[in-house]
Amino acid sequence: DYVGLRELMPYGELNNFAPVDLTQNVPRLIAQDENVRVVANPNDGILFVHSSSTPNSLFALKYLKSSDTEYSYAGWSEWKFSGEIQDMAMLNETLYLVMYYANDLQTNTSLEKIRFGPGQVDSGSNMLMHVDRKLYYAGNASSADGITATVTSNNPSYGGQDTTTFTFAVGGSNGRYDPDSSPNLQVYTAVDTGVAEGTPLTVLARAVNSLIVRGVVNEALLWFGVPYTFKWSANRVLPRVQDGTPMHGRRTVNSEARINFDRSRYFSVVLEHKAGNSYTTTFDNDADSSVGVGPVEGFGAEDIADLKSGTIKIPMHGASHNLRMSIQNDSPYPSNITGIEWVSTQNRQSGVSGVF
């Protein structure tokens, strides 16, 4: 059993609608259960489905409609959380999630929110830092943000290093972290002040409601948050005839992938060969040599220093059934993939011939 999602579209005569199946390409992605919830934001073209049989997963449909009856783009993705989704609601451009977290030390229920819409940036920055449960520290050892900072010079507990201890408020709107039971909580620089924005700081120790970081950073502008990984895996590339039917009678050899991106700072492309090694190509905002294989194309004068737009070429040379490609980003930096082009050759499969 599986969950099916249909949309009533105008069809033919007035007041006549046809139920179009929007899940026909992923019929077994969403498991059936007695509790299935659907919320949508048509202004941003996104829809979410949650099934209680997979409490840690949220399935998202991102779409772009060219008319009432046609889609220019529609793609499904699965979001995995460390906690379990209890309920959800969409209010304007914000998705609210009631989350249940459990570990060896504690259990708690939290209200999380995810904002949508174009043009979002962090305060004082030209990009949006991508970490979960993000909390801003305004510096100057102020407790106004629910965080206090204490500097210890030549801390004997850490080999004489200077350290900064951040203590989180127990209650209030920002009392959301217990670092001792949240081992993935990290600290990142919020703006470029000699150290690149988004640089992770070294965490030396975690305790109940506190975090010890190397260096004197009590006056720095910082983000606290939980890192996550974005991953997209390509389907097998098959040529199609005019009516869209895949042609399995030819052997597809991919020679190159061209990945188009916009306002991005970091991502990696991983090629996995069924009978061979895996290769990783990384874009890290360096127009000259960040890719390692081939130049980065499309940089213009309008590109700002921290974000770039362009195209990278990834050499492949592998039969379609022996090669898998994925795009990953485990950094706090944005990556916006706008399109992928394949350069392939089609060779007819030849049968076995000869006398044995």
Query: Token digits for 110?
Result: 């939290």
Report the C-alpha gap between 166 and 148 in whole angstroms.
6
Q: Count CA atoms within 13 Å of residue 113 on its CB side.
A: 8
Report CA 162 to chain centroid distance, whole Å: 34
Report the predicted TM-score, pTM, of the whole model to 2 decimal places.
0.73
Q: How far apart are the first and last CA of the chain?
A: 49
- Residue of 6, 8, 98, 7 lying closest to 58 (CA atoms): 98
**DSSP result, 10-77:** E-SSTT-EEEEES-TTSTTTSB--S-EEEEEETTTTEEEEEETTSTTEEEEEEEEESSSS-EEEEEEE
One pLDDT digit (tens) per residue for the chain, 356 residues: 555 666 666 665 556 555 555 555 555 677 776 788 889 888 888 889 898 888 999 988 888 777 666 667 777 888 888 889 999 999 888 899 998 887 655 577 888 888 887 777 787 777 888 888 788 888 775 555 678 888 999 999 999 999 999 888 765 444 556 665 566 889 998 876 667 788 889 999 887 788 899 999 888 888 888 888 888 888 776 666 666 666 655 567 778 888 888 888 889 999 888 877 888 888 887 655 344 334 444 444 344 566 788 888 888 877 777 888 899 999 999 888 888 888 887 776 555 444 43
